[in-house]
Amino acid sequence: MVSQFKNSQLYVELRPRCPKCKKEFLLDLKRFMPGGFHSCYACGSVTKFDGVLSEKVQVLINDLEATVRQVLDSLSAASR
């Protein structure tokens, strides 16, 4: 799910499954940070985030937010 807040920040949520118990959980990609981890609410197993992959994700989210701001600005300018 992708949402946008009033300050033009994006909220991107994934629903992966725990590798151990297979229960689905919500993961806000803004929290998918290098050195981060997720503790499963169902079984308690801890999954560490891949540092290189999480850095790539953060760069992509920042780029996407900037592009969305440009689109919104262009639409606002066009409607004047």
Q: What is the pLDDT of residues 24-47, one digit of tens each?
A: 999 988 889 999 999 999 999 999
Query: What Cα–Cα distance (Å) separates residue 5 from each residue in 9, 65, 66?
Result: 6, 11, 13
Phi, psi of 55 (to 5 degrees): -65, -45
Residues comprising the chain, all counted: 80
Q: What is the pLDDT of residues 15-25, one digit of tens each?
A: 999 999 999 99
Q: Measured in Å, how far apart are the chain's first and last C-alpha atoms?
A: 31
Give the H/E segment covering residue 55.
helix 51-78
pTM: 0.74
